[in-house]
Chains A and B, each alone.
Chain A
Amino acid sequence: MKSANSSLRRNFIRLGLLVVGIAVLDVALTSQFYRSTLTLSLIFAIAAVGLTLLMGFAGQVSIGQGAFFGLGAYSAAFAIQQLGIPPLVGLVVAAVVPGFFGYLIARPILRLSGNNLALATLALAAVFYVVATQWSSVTGGIDPGITGLPALDYFGLSHIHVVLWLAGICLVICTAVALLLIDGRFGRALMAIKTSEVVASCTGVDVARTKAIAFAIAAAYAGIAGALFGYFLRAFNATSFNVGLSIELLMMVIVGSLSTVWGAIFGALAIMVLPNLLEGFDHAKLLVYGLAMVAIMMLAPNGLGETLAKLVTRRRVAE
């Protein structure tokens, strides 16, 4: 339809703007600290986009994305260090392993819904964390963890520039795929499932399979983000993948929006950048996080970004 194509075009213009934005910031940001904050925002945004697909569109909550994020980080590191695979191919490994694992686990776990699904995914994150801290022969546990990942200094650029652009390109590709999926029959099937599983089935959607694919995609996105996170730091340990990480990823989606992919990117940026802007914030970080989440859920349960966007458009219409 006309409108469908124009929304697709609008989205691709936004993607172009995203690339320009990254490029401008890359040049404009002089401090190494801000540049790494930007890089982390881009990395987390990938995982958040995946979670939006699962939560916002298919209506399936997951408080366990940290597990797939960690799985991606470990499998990429394993591929590079033990199998001698180049880092770029390592990204593919980091998407495939969590994606496959996510698909396997999705079938049983997505028979649950609501409270029980939230609980089960949270338990998954907790199990992963325990395994990551204990299975030292593979993960290095908490000390030393994974160390000595190679510096990515392609084309004579410094490590941080390369990772920033790698993260940016991955984010653009992942977002484009997500947008296309949403725009097509898969996206319509997801939204039908969110509305009613009976309605979805009666239009011919294999609900269990479609939900599992959505779960696998979200897991793969989280895995890619995790691998980039590992590449960026070059050394990490299990404490990065505790339950708090899963909740943080959930926060990004909530702060952004449950109904657009752009909201997730906005949310990731907000969660990563805001703490740095407040001086001495570290003490009260958790408290402020918690209260912000409470305030958002009380006042704007569909996501802060979406509610703000609605306010703006309503005002524009009123004028």
Chain B
Amino acid sequence: MKSIVSLEGVSKAFGGLKAVDDVTCSLSEGIVTALIGPNGAGKSTLINLITGVFLPTAGLVKLGGVDISKLPMHARSRMGIARTYQTPQMIHGLSSIENVMAGAYRFGSHGLLKTIFAPWMVAKENSEIADRAAIALRTSGVPEQWWDRRATELPYGIQRRVEIARALAQEPKIILLDEPAAGLNPAETADIGRLLKQIARGGISVLLVEHDMPLVMSTADYVVVLNFGRTLAMGSPTEIAANPTVIAAYLGADDEDEAEAEAEECVA
């Protein structure tokens, strides 16, 4: 399997606290990799390190073999990294389809000058981008009746799907999902799981950060367990479920690290 994103000895410290400590792992093409661990284990920090919200204090983040550790967020996004958020971040004032069109930003070419000197381009490009958005919305299963509604007014479950569609519209190499099932009922959760598998089978690498164990176990092809910022175990779902250290870590998960959770909140 081809590795899309690889982390090599990545660490991130906030003050004296190591939120992510010497993590090495690889996220491969065409599969769903789940990242699990107790609260404060460093999961969201890891997403933020891959997307570029934080720069690592040590180690390398590579995309398709290229070191992207120092690149700004928008450059990484244009290279094919897309993400969703713990609480859906719908762009205010835009309809769902326009939200998804915003995801296809990198496929547009018109800027200030073209808008002034070739205004007809705007409508033409808009309809091309809207076509891309429509495909993404269909793939992620947003019913057409919601497309022209303001995204912030949509039901929570639909917002999650719109957000996934927005990520798909970026035509990314990898999608990072931060707890996509939070706030959803079991039926909706199962749907999201199927959707993620389908996306991965289309040749994209999917990273799923999730607390919902049934979803992880049914969806993930590969599981990485973090605890206190370090990788505790890696393997197939069945291996992880049987791993005694993982079980111990989950039972002793009460003393969660609030400082890191707080640092992550600042970002969200």
* Chain A contact residues, CB within 8 Å of chain B: 1, 3-5, 8, 176-177, 180-181, 183-186, 188-189, 191-192, 194-196, 198-207, 213, 217, 259
B2 contacts A by Cβ under 8 Å: no
Tell me which of B12-20, B94-102, B207-215, B237-245 binds A.
B94-102
Give the 4 A-B residue pairs with the shortest CB-CB distance, closest first.
A201-B73, A185-B108, A188-B102, A1-B130
Q: Which of A1, A5, A183, A191 contacts B102 (CB 8 A)?
A: A191
B110 and A185 within 8 A (CB): yes
B166 contacts A by Cβ under 8 Å: yes
Least CB distance from A268 to B in Å reads 22
> In the assembly, what is the distance between CA of A217 and CA of B112, in Å?
9
A188 and B105 within 8 A (CB): yes
Would you give 21 A-B contacts (Cβ < 8 Å), ordered by A?
A1-B130, A1-B133, A1-B147, A4-B126, A5-B127, A176-B119, A180-B115, A180-B119, A180-B122, A183-B123, A184-B115, A188-B91, A189-B105, A192-B102, A198-B267, A201-B77, A202-B81, A203-B102, A204-B77, A204-B106, A206-B72
A198 and B53 within 8 A (CB): yes
> In the assembly, what is the distance between CA of A202 and CA of B115, in Å?
24
A interface: dominant SS = helix
B residues near A184, Cβ cutoff 8 Å: 108, 110, 115, 122, 125-126
> Among the interface residues A176, A184, A198, which one has the most CB atoms of the partner chain B within 10 A?
A184
Tell me which of B25-33, B82-90, B193-201, B218-226 binds A.
B82-90
Least CB distance from B107 to A in Å reads 9
A residues near B91, Cβ cutoff 8 Å: 188, 191-192, 195, 199
A199 and B130 within 8 A (CB): no
B residues near A185, Cβ cutoff 8 Å: 101-102, 105, 108, 110, 125, 129
B112 and A181 within 8 A (CB): yes
> In the assembly, what is the distance between CA of A181 and CA of B114, in Å?
10
B6 contacts A by Cβ under 8 Å: no
Supposing A3-B95, A199-B91, A203-B166 touch, asked if A186 and B115 sit within 8 A by C-beta, the answer is yes
B residues near A181, Cβ cutoff 8 Å: 112, 115
B116 contacts A by Cβ under 8 Å: yes
Which residue in chain B gives the minimum CB-CB distance to A259?
Answer: B93
A residues near B95, Cβ cutoff 8 Å: 3
